[in-house]
Amino acid sequence: MSINKVVISGNLTRDPELRSTANGFPVLGFGVAVNDRRRNQQTGEWEDYPNFIDCTMFGTRAESVAKFLSKGSKVAIEGKLRWSQWERDGQKRSKIEVVVDEIEFMSRGGGNGDGGFGGGYQGGYNAGGYQGGYSAPQMQQAPQYAPQPARQAPAAPQVDTSVYDEDIPF
């Protein structure tokens, strides 16, 4: 068995590029900068070293997400690695990219901190569809339903107080 799972968070290095395949399937491409912190051996100071990660998202979610991303936007991404190889001008080339399964917007608005679309996004997009919500003028209000009588909350589960964090070996 093998596991192919990646979780990164960082800032977009460029505006996302939305394109389509020959049969009209949407593909969104963007780059994310993820810093690695290392100690400089000459000075002894800690320094940030950026890693630039290419990311790709497919389908109607790609079209939806493209509207809310711009250069500098902070995002958290969960996905899988995909290796591609091709030949250009007689030279073999390859790259590793992240195919996005889930994305969460971590900055408000379009990365410039202005609040963007109604004060910021809460939630993320995932393979099952939209989760979370935002208040944009084009969204319709959910229908209002009559209040239901209150139900009694279930009893709180019993907690075993004999196990403490110090007892866990990691």
Q: Residues of 41-52 as b/e, b for ≥16 C-beta within 10 angstroms?
A: eeeeeeeeeeee
Q: Residues of 71-101 as b/e, b for ≥16 C-beta within 10 angstroms?
A: ebbbbebbbeeeeeeeeeeeeeeeeebbebb
Q: Residues 58-71: pLDDT tens digits?
A: 999 999 999 999 99
What is 6-129's CATH topology? Answer: OB fold (Dihydrolipoamide Acetyltransferase, E2P) (2.40.50)
What residue spans define the domains of the chain?
6-129
Query: The tokens of 155 are what?
Result: 């009893």
Structural contact between residues 72 and 55, judged by C-beta atoms closer than 8 angstroms: no
Mean pLDDT of the chain: 77
Query: The tokens of 134 are what?
Result: 């935002």
Would you say the pTM of this structure is higher than 0.85?
no
Separation between Cα atoms, residue 57 and residue 76, nearest integer Å: 13
Q: Residues 27-73: pLDDT tens digits?
A: 999 999 999 999 999 999 999 999 999 999 999 999 999 999 999 99
